[in-house]
Amino acid sequence: ILKCGDRTGDKAPMAYVELVDRPRGTEAEAVADE
């Protein structure tokens, strides 16, 4: 989450929200190795 200042009209705070996805195979491979 990155805050990017206030909106010009009503001074409401704004932020960028970045959704990051992780690979699905990582957890399944770790369980299979055990």
- pLDDT confidence of residue 22: 79
- pLDDT confidence of residue 31: 62
Q: Could you list the residue range(s) of the whole structural domain that residue 19 is in? A: 2-33
- pLDDT confidence of residue 27: 62
What is the tally of structural domains in the chain?
1
2-34 pLDDT tens trace? 999 999 999 999 999 999 887 777 666 666 655
Burial code (b: 16+ CB inside 10 Å, e: under 16) for 5-26 equals: eeeeeeeeeeeeeeeeeeeeee
Model pTM score? 0.47
